[in-house]
Amino acid sequence: MSPWWVAAAAALLVPIVNPNAYHLDVLTGAGLYALLALGLNVVVGFTGLLHLGYAAFFAIGAYAYALLNLHAGCPFWAGVIPAAAVAGAAGVVLGIPAMRVRGDYLAIVTLGFGEIVRIAFTNLERWTGGPNGLLGIAHPTLWIPARGLYDFGVASQPYYYLVVVMVMLTAMACLRMSRSRVGRAWAAIREDELAAACSGIDTFQLKLLAQGCGAAIAGLAGAIFAAKQGTITPDSFDFILSVMVLAMVVLGGLGSVPGAIVGALALGTLPELLRGLAQYRMLLFGAVMILMMRLRPQGLLGTGQIRREPLTDRPPHDARPA
C-alpha cells in the first residue's frame, strides 16, 4: 500500500482515536500551515524563487471570502474558489514586475508587497474594518441526508476533516505538477535559469505560473481560516507568518511535497508541545532550527545535494600536473 494512503487513513482516524477538541484544533492549525507550506513550496521549492511576503496571499484569500460572504451573502462552498482565484490573480499581478528581478532583490520586493497588503487592509476601514477587522463571517454548512443542514459552527472536528481533505487534494495536485512538463521546466529554472532560457523554456511565463499557483493555494487556506475563525484582523497576516511558512518548507526539504507537510506539522505543533516551557519556548524553537540546518541542511525529507564551495583552490590529487 502506498505511504500516501496510509498517511491519509491515519489522519482521518485521528478524531476517532483522540476526540479531544483542543488537540484537534491544534492539528487543524497545523493543517492550515501545511496548505501554506505546499503553496510556498511551489514558488520556493519547485521554482527556486525566494518569497518573503507569502502571508499577503493568505490575507487576500481570507478577506476575499469575508467580503463575498458579508456583502454578497456568498456561502463558503461558493466563495472558496473565487477567494483562491483572487489570491492567484494577485500573485500574477505581483509577479509581472517582481519576476524581472532575482535573488535578494526579489526577496525585498516580495517583503515590501506583504507589508503593503497588511497596511492597506489596516487603513481601508470602510471595506476591511481597519485594525478591528471583519466580524460575523459565516461558518461552512453541509447538507447531510440523514441530518439535514449541518453547520460547522465552532466545533473542531468538521474543520479538521475539511483541512485534511484539502491538504490531501493539494498535495496530490502538487505531486502531479512536479512530475509534469511544467514541473520539470520549473526544476530547470531553479537549477539554472540562464540554461533553461537557452533551452527554449519561457522562464518569465513559467515563473508567473508558479507564483499564481502558490498564491491560489494560500488564498484557499485564507478562506478556510476566515470561515473557521468567523473574524479576521490584519495582525493575523504579519511578516512573521511568512518567515514561519518559509522555515517549514526549508525544514521539510525544498521541493519535497511530503517534506512541506511534515515541516508544517512539526513547526505547527512544536510551540504547543513546548507550552510547559513557555519561558524558554522560543529559545528551544530556535535551537532546533539551528541544529537541523547544521546536521541536515537538505531538510527532513529533502534529497537534493547541497552545493558547497571548495575549501581550497588546490586541484584534486588526480588532476595535478605530472
291-301 tens-digit pLDDT? 877 888 888 88
pLDDT tens-digit readout, 56-77? 999 999 999 999 999 998 999 9
The three three-digit cell numbers of residue 149, written as one number: 443542514
Global confidence as pTM:
0.89
Contacts for 67 with CB less than 8 Å, ≥ 6 apart:
127, 134
Q: Tell me the torsion sign for CA atoms 268, 272, 278, 284.
A: negative
DSSP letter string, 139-190: PPEEEETTTEEEE-TT-HHHHHHHHHHHHHHHHHHHHHHHTSHHHHHHHHHH
Per-residue pLDDT, 261:
93
Please report, rounded to a whole number, the percentage of residues in the chain having pLDDT higher than 70. 93
Per-residue pLDDT, 317:
46
Burial of 317 (0-12, 13-18, 19+ CB in 10 A): exposed
- Position 53 pLDDT exceeds 60: yes
Per-residue pLDDT, 303:
62
pLDDT tens-digit readout, 101-141? 888 888 899 999 999 999 999 999 888 989 999 999 999 99
Q: What distances in angstroms separate CA 151 from CA 160, 166, 220, one per listed residue?
A: 14, 19, 20
Q: Report residue 39's pLDDT band, with 50, 70 and 90 as the boundaries.
A: very high
The three three-digit cell numbers of residue 170, written as one number: 493539494
| Rounded distance between C-alpha atoms, residue 306 and residue 22, angstroms | 39
Per-residue pLDDT, 304:
53
- Quote the mean pLDDT of the chain: 87
Domain boundaries, the chain: 3-236
| Rounded distance between C-alpha atoms, residue 310 and residue 71, angstroms | 60
The three three-digit cell numbers of residue 103, written as one number: 535573488
- Position 307 pLDDT exceeds 60: no
Per-residue pLDDT, 1:
57
DSSP state of 43: I
Higher pLDDT, 285 or 226: 226
Tell which residue, 222, 286, 297, has the closest CA to residue 67. Answer: 222
Side chain identity, residue 267: L
- Position 321 pLDDT exceeds 70: no
Per-residue pLDDT, 123:
93
Per-residue pLDDT, 311:
37
What is the SS3 assignment for 291-312?
Answer: HHHHHCCCCCCCCCCCCCCCCC
pLDDT tens-digit readout, 131-174? 999 999 999 998 888 777 888 888 899 999 999 999 999 999 99
Higher pLDDT, 28 or 272: 28
Q: Report residue 319's pLDDT band, with 50, 70 and 90 as the boundaries.
A: very low
